Structure 1
């Protein structure tokens, strides 16, 4: 624990040295300077390592205590002051109290009272430091959450140390029709309303979770990212939050389904998949102009797709071709786009994000208003079969021991900046689904497995080569050799150098 650093300012040598001896013997207290007047303090003041407390006499030559307090406060000093005074200095004491000093003591000083007060101020100082540290950490956490991409390296996991260990629930709150609202409103009024939503969000979050257990950030894609430290899924709370904000502002907010994150290293991949989730929010309805029969047929198509019943899909697509011939072109376009997004939504839980994004772009590109009705029907059929073929490859990979394939891929890429996304994409799986699948079949997380394999390789290199530790760290995928050394010692109980000496 860091000591409480104190400066003593007293012009009488005997009192000054007596206070120094007394304070230095108190637990957690450290006297870092003694001075005869205020000017001496300023001459030796260290702005980089200032005292936590200034214990000063009021009446002193050259510069008195009140002037010293005023000058330090003007310079931005945020520590505490204790003042000493004689019986005839009451008007100085009044000034000191107006300057919000922590306390004052009459000479001769009662040492027990001084000891008790110093202990109280030390505890107050610790509490203040903890709050400042928490605020600083929160700023760092939010900056990190805003910048996390979908490429979470299985080597560079140091950022997870910024957050408490445990489970997290993450989701997004989307402002529905954001751009339409922005276009039809006065810019000043619009941003005022947006600021109101932010204030309401902070208010609602404080009612549900502690300030240190929840994080939100505006991701500039008309949605708020939300992360909650929890042991349970918070879907119900998030839905209530979205409804409360919708009720209290001009905006309608929709919550993504959200995910429970049990491994923080998975957070970047989860955030990326959530962005895709918001793009794939199924349509509330197809529109009154679309025939009920066609809606039922497309729902059957979606169900067949979810069940991987590809022969049934072919039959449904064939019947759709006949049913759609009598519909207007715009109706068919709307229907196909909605159905396609729903099918992608179903597939997004398992397929890699890159595949979903690619198929979403193809859906938009292939279905255009310039196509004739037969061309639209054919384009949707081709698109559906391409999506199905991707899912078939996924199915075959699973049947073909996806875990063994993933392990083989990991083994051949231990030296690389390997990411969960890369491993998951190799076996045609969504990263979050893959991690759950891997743990279910192996009993350990992907990160635990990769770390174990890398450290095993590091052990062999330490035993069989004279390479420096920094080179071995790089050879097993860790660019930060200090982090590698800490990780190695955490898992083996020895530093890399100690392990090498013991193994020879």
Structure 2
């Protein structure tokens, strides 16, 4: 048990000093944290300076602010404490009001030393009991928090491992606080080369050490900023970190700046203590946690830039812009010229001109003798194409196409194969852009129709966004702005409405009903159905059957 923090308030100096000596004489557990001559002075110190107090001993009649007013104002601030009132007035009105404000004792002046010590002993027992109850409550709350956190980590881990998570399985997102999130991917560069040289136990030790560095630095840099976090393992020395900003009024740039500063220090700390370099990717802010799979894919794509830029860097979406603006002095000017012609042809969606510009680009490649310059030229072309794609309305930061380009450059055995692969890749982008132009119907109407026709299938945000040719993040924001509902809520409502129809009109088993509306886990379906309707599927069916019988009799 800690000390009993006591505040004494009395306008008579001699009485203040006397009470202070009496309190301190009662044992080391008593701590007088403040002695004041007026209620106003005490109020300001208690509210603005002290973290907490256990006991307030105050006079009633004082200038500026009396003792009863002091107690009332402190109670209005939800400060939890015990009160002993000392007064020279044996007036029932004061006693009655003091009790009404929660005072546990009313002591008349002059103070009887022996009686006062007995009263302090009784107060001590009450404070001890209160502290024990508070500690028990804290323990229960801490265990509940740890259990909830463990479940949330399990959900997040499953989501980042599973490539095709149906939107229905993201209902758990409602367990998280509402606000602004950022996803971060932390990957040690040397792990695969080092892994062959060390034992499994040493790898576990490295993992534990890196995890501790991440957590300790969060405690130092972010905990005072009211930023919550969830940290989970991806694979050996690779981590996912989800950060949540609890301060809704803060500017977006402030949250972003805090994360950037933290990640820079993290990269430096890992290199200092572990002698490893680290590649880190982080994306834009988002509020809808159903976008986590999309954010995951973005970060994995961003880390592919490590192939071009090397490791030990922090990658974010602006990386594409930064790289596309870089020019390598060893590349001939003709490479830049035909690259820009190809990019412009893509923007005009002119397939013939794309093929013509690419032909001239690769004609220049055949003149180059340095494999390094050829590689840089191809990378520059791909990055400029990706940037132009990102600038196209409706796509936003869809950088997953970078993986497609990198796969082409890896698999090509010679320049001719590379030429054909790059040509097919760019022409596929032209066709996708044309499809957007030819699609005149409302994307929300299209998305709803697709959902209604595919309730029993695996539905993901990516599939929906791809169907209407929109970036997943933009699609979710646009859907909510137009409908007032999240994609997750809309899909759930449609599936449960269809489930009700099946329960009312068919004799299908609950398992079959769940499967027909897209839920492979019957227990999960039943739990979700009850959560939304306050009835289990069987109760709903029975209630509807009884209602139908009554109607038939009528």
Which residue is equivalent to 1:389?
431
Which residue is equivalent to 1:128?
139
Kindly indicate whether the alpha-carbon contact (under 8 Å) linking 2:446 and 2:468 is maintained by their aligned counterparts in 1: yes
Q: More deviation in 192-201 or 432-441? A: 192-201
Alpha-carbon spacing, 1:353–1:337, altered in 2? closer, same or farther (3 Å):
closer
Quick one: distance in 2 between partners of 1:236 and 1:364?
Answer: 36
Alpha-carbon spacing, 1:457–1:342, altered in 2? closer, same or farther (3 Å):
same
Structure 2 residue 505 is the aligned partner of structure 1 residue 459:
no
Cα deviation, residue 228, structure 1 = 0.8
Q: How does 1:321-340 map to 2 (within 5 A)?
A: 321-328=362-369, 330=371, 331-340=373-382
Alpha-carbon spacing, 1:125–1:310, altered in 2? closer, same or farther (3 Å):
farther
Alpha-carbon spacing, 1:409–1:376, altered in 2? closer, same or farther (3 Å):
closer
Quick one: distance in 2 between partners of 1:278 and 1:440?
Answer: 32
Structure 2 residue 281 is the aligned partner of structure 1 residue 256:
yes
Kindly indicate whether the alpha-carbon contact (under 8 Å) linking 1:218 and 1:224 is maintained by their aligned counterparts in 2: yes
Alpha-carbon spacing, 1:462–1:353, altered in 2? closer, same or farther (3 Å):
farther
Structure 2 residue 247 is the aligned partner of structure 1 residue 206:
no
Kindly indicate whether the alpha-carbon contact (under 8 Å) linking 2:298 and 2:400 is maintained by their aligned counterparts in 1: no
Alpha-carbon spacing, 1:482–1:181, altered in 2? closer, same or farther (3 Å):
closer
Cα deviation, residue 264, structure 1 = 1.8
Cα deviation, residue 188, structure 1 = 11
Kindly indicate whether the alpha-carbon contact (under 8 Å) linking 1:352 and 1:430 is maintained by their aligned counterparts in 2: yes
Quick one: distance in 2 between partners of 1:471 and 1:191?
Answer: 44
Kindly indicate whether the alpha-carbon contact (under 8 Å) linking 1:352 and 1:421 is maintained by their aligned counterparts in 2: no
Quick one: distance in 1 between partners of 2:128 and 2:237?
Answer: 52
Quick one: distance in 2 between partners of 1:471 and 1:111?
Answer: 66
Quick one: distance in 2 between partners of 1:254 and 1:363?
Answer: 22
Cα deviation, residue 378, structure 1 = 4.9
Quick one: distance in 1 between partners of 2:256 and 2:411?
Answer: 34
Which residue is equivalent to 1:168?
181
Cα deviation, residue 446, structure 1 = 1.6
Q: TM-score, normalised by structure 1?
A: 0.63
Kindly indicate whether the alpha-carbon contact (under 8 Å) linking 2:283 and 2:298 is maintained by their aligned counterparts in 1: no
The structure 2 residue matched to 1:361, chosen from 404, 407, 412, is: 407
Cα deviation, residue 263, structure 1 = 1.9
Residue 285 of structure 2 aligns to a residue whose secondary structure is strand
Q: How does 1:386-425 map to 2 (within 5 A)?
A: 386-393=428-435, 395-396=436-437, 398-425=439-466
Structure 1 unmatched ranges of 5 or more: 1-109
Cα deviation, residue 343, structure 1 = 3.5
Quick one: distance in 2 between partners of 1:315 and 1:171?
Answer: 41
Structure 2 residue 245 is the aligned partner of structure 1 residue 245:
no
Alpha-carbon spacing, 1:186–1:300, altered in 2? closer, same or farther (3 Å):
farther
Quick one: distance in 1 between partners of 2:277 and 2:350?
Answer: 37
Quick one: distance in 2 between partners of 1:193 and 1:474?
Answer: 44
Kindly indicate whether the alpha-carbon contact (under 8 Å) linking 2:514 and 2:521 is maintained by their aligned counterparts in 1: yes
Cα deviation, residue 214, structure 1 = 0.6
Which residue is equivalent to 2:256?
235
Cα deviation, residue 310, structure 1 = 5.5
Quick one: distance in 2 between partners of 1:492 and 1:137?
Answer: 24
The structure 2 residue matched to 1:448, chosen from 460, 483, 489, is: 489
The structure 2 residue matched to 1:268, chosen from 274, 286, 293, is: 293
Kindly indicate whether the alpha-carbon contact (under 8 Å) linking 1:151 and 1:421 is maintained by their aligned counterparts in 2: no
RMSD over equivalenced CA pairs, Å:
4.3
Quick one: distance in 2 between partners of 1:183 and 1:396?
Answer: 51
The count of residues paired between Structure 1 and Structure 2 equals 390
Cα deviation, residue 227, structure 1 = 0.6
Cα deviation, residue 270, structure 1 = 2.3
Q: TM-score, normalised by structure 2?
A: 0.58
Which residue is equivalent to 1:156?
169
Quick one: distance in 2 between partners of 1:238 and 1:346?
Answer: 28
Structure 2 residue 260 is the aligned partner of structure 1 residue 219:
no
Cα deviation, residue 182, structure 1 = 7.4
Cα deviation, residue 215, structure 1 = 1.7
Which residue is equivalent to 2:314?
none
Structure 2 unmatched ranges of 5 or more: 1-120, 310-322
Cα deviation, residue 120, structure 1 = 2.8
Quick one: distance in 1 between partners of 2:201 and 2:179?
Answer: 42
Alpha-carbon spacing, 1:352–1:414, altered in 2? closer, same or farther (3 Å):
farther
Quick one: distance in 2 between partners of 1:421 and 1:204?
Answer: 34
Deviation per CA, 1:180-205, whole angstroms, max 9, x where unpaired?
68799999999988766544322322
Q: How does 1:14-53 map to 2 (within 5 A)?
A: none
Quick one: distance in 1 between partners of 2:444 and 2:179?
Answer: 26
Q: How does 1:70-85 map to 2 (within 5 A)?
A: none
Quick one: distance in 2 between partners of 1:486 and 1:458?
Answer: 13
